[in-house]
Amino acid sequence: MQVHRLSPPCHDGAMFEVINWRGHLRVNKQAGAERVIARMGAALGEPFTLLSYQRYWKLPDLAEVRLTSPLGVQEPPEAVFRTMLAAQRIASPWSVTCHMVGDRLDFEGIAAKTVSAHFTVPGVEWLLFSVTAGEPTPWPEQEQPA
């Protein structure tokens, strides 16, 4: 999978380059995760870039993946609108939170089978998307038991 770099905006200001995703997939191996991710990309109409794959420490029958998909918009309302359209192609319903500090927008959404979300791609159990202006930042590593 390739990382797609988008051109910088024509005027000053932060750009919403990517949607960051974290998910739990019911797969046995990384090859299975890559197939599920490819189907998610087909549903989205945009490629996903796999950033990491590992067994989910809390539930070893699931894999935890971190992904990005292209967004490439300048304005916060357009970022929200396009992200929600993308998310709806993969799952529904979503629980969404938004934080606005000055001109900075951060928002995220969670869909989970455990709370009756329906995923359009088999094998997806839980998804979180996160969008913020500027460069994507990885989620902090969660502490795992020794």
Closest by CA to 81, choosing from 135, 19, 137, 4, is 19
Tens-place pLDDT, residues 98-140: 887 777 778 999 999 999 999 999 999 999 999 987 644 454 4
Are the CB atoms for 90 and 110 separated by under 8 Å? no
pTM for the full model? 0.80
Task: Find the radius of gyration of the CA atoms of the chain.
Answer: 15
38-92 residue pLDDT tens: 999 999 999 999 999 999 999 989 999 999 999 999 888 899 999 999 999 999 9
pLDDT higher than threshold 90 for residue 97: yes
Kind of pairing between the strands at 91-92 and 118-119 = antiparallel
pLDDT confidence of residue 13: 56
**Scanning the structure block, which residue is given the tokens 């799952």?**
91
| DSSP helix/strand/coil, 78 | helix
Angle between helices 76-90 and 30-44 (to 10 degrees): 120
Q: Is residue 142 very low, low, confident or very high in pLDDT (cuts 50, 70, 90)?
A: very low
Q: What is the pLDDT of residue 77?
A: 87
Identify the CA nearest to 94 among candidates 65, 46, 129, 134: 129
